[in-house]
Amino acid sequence: MAETVVKLRLNQQQLELIDRTIAQGVAPDRVALVRLALHEYAAARKAEVHKSGMEQAQ
Amino acid sequence: MTGRQIISELVMEPGTGKAIELLKGQVLRIEQVEGGQCADFNCFNLHDYKEFMHCGRTRTVHGFHPTTGTFMWSAPPRERAMLYILEDTVGRNDVLFPRCSAYVYEAAYGFAVHTNCHDIQAEAQREYGLTPDDVHDSFNLFMCTGVDDDGHAFMTRQTTKPGDYVDLLALMDVLAVPNVCGADVMKTSNFALKPLKLTVFAATDADLAQVPKTPMLASQRTPKDFRNPTIKTDRPLRRDPAYKPEFPNTPIVVTDLAVSLSPEELAMFNAVKRSDIYGEDDAAALRDLLFSWWEERFLQAHAGAPSIEST
């Protein structure tokens, strides 16, 4: 299936923070950092939902 | 606390306050004599009164009820730790409420004249040449407050006993100004005005060792960094015809960053994106996700507060 392109609009301060984060070795480039953020953010939410479900079941 | 040398002692009578030169490394103890008395508190850099304690920054860093182990911070752009709460035998202070004022007692109670924290502070600060306009938002010691379900701050009675105290360690030379809160027709001090005892001690090495290190950052600016370091000495405001704005990081320039999402990533995004806020604007939703993730992963301090390094 085709990829979907989302065009983020970021100002120079936001880009500075992103670039400093990349410089720490977190991701190789800006796009990779956004992808990493998506994967980790979604995984954290999935874990929260799972934890909440486990607690309700107890 | 053991082995502290007493430098001075004083009892503040009801209706009064006292400006005290508290030097770096000295401790001010504010102590209940009879119990049940609120103390309002102002604090200035002794060598530059334009640096003063900021309740807004303090409550952002330490919450609505700062107690043992927290700092009183100065206002931006200084944002330095001025005082450290070494010990607090009660643990119930307030940085939500403003000082009570003559207006409150006239408007709500009909008093032509009534003891009030603003005027008491102003009178105490006058000893050092300050004016009523220099009184700043008050750190309210021993004041029992909270926030109700509707988001309104409330105050209630306190349970302090004789001998309860708060110890404030000066991290710089300050003018510390406590006063006996003037409210006797409110719950603040359990409907009575009582004296408070003040003691200044020299801090011990053990006291000083308790203080966590705070960061020294370039953004903590002083008058040497100001474009206009001169304190204005007249009252009217007049436009400076030579003024040219120099706002930092302007103009704000926006750049596009195209991110290709695979079908799996798109599904992942659709499952977590904040459509409730951004609707169909996926670009804004992804930007939100990016910086929300960044905060979760990298932000050390609460709500953008200055981080405090542990010792």
Give the Cα-Cα-Cα angle B12, B14, B19 (nearest 5 degrees). 40
Nearest in space to B265 (alpha carbons), one of A2, A23, A17: A2
Q: Is pLDDT above 70 for B36?
A: yes
* Domain with A32 in it: 12-57
pLDDT, tens digit (0-9, with 9 covering 90-100), for B104-142: 999 999 999 999 999 999 999 999 999 999 999 999 999
Query: In this structure, is residue A39 part of a structural domain?
Result: yes
- The length of chain B is 311
Query: In this structure, is residue A5 part of a structural domain?
Result: no
Residue B57's pLDDT is what? Answer: 92
B250 and chain A: CB distance < 8 Å anywhere? no
Q: Is pLDDT above 80 for B303?
A: no
Residue B244's pLDDT is what? Answer: 96
Q: What confidence category does residue A46 fall into, taking pLDDT thresholds of 50, 70 and 90?
A: confident
Contacts of B248 (CB under 8 A, 6+ apart): none
Instruction: Using CB atoms, pick whichever of B252, B269, B289 lies closest to residue A11.
Output: B252
- pTM of the model as a whole: 0.90
Nearest-by-CA chain A residue for B249: A13
In chain B, the percentage of residues whose pLDDT exceeds 70 is: 96
Q: What confidence category does residue B309 fall into, taking pLDDT thresholds of 50, 70 and 90?
A: low
Query: In this structure, is residue A34 part of a structural domain?
Result: yes
Query: In this structure, is residue A6 part of a structural domain?
Result: no
Counted across chains A and B, CB pairs separated by less than 8 A come out at 103
- Structure token digits, residue B268: 């992942």
Q: How many domains does chain A have?
A: 1
Chain-chain contact of B259 with A14 (C-beta, under 8 angstroms):
no
In chain B, the percentage of residues whose pLDDT exceeds 90 is: 93
Residue B174's pLDDT is what? Answer: 98
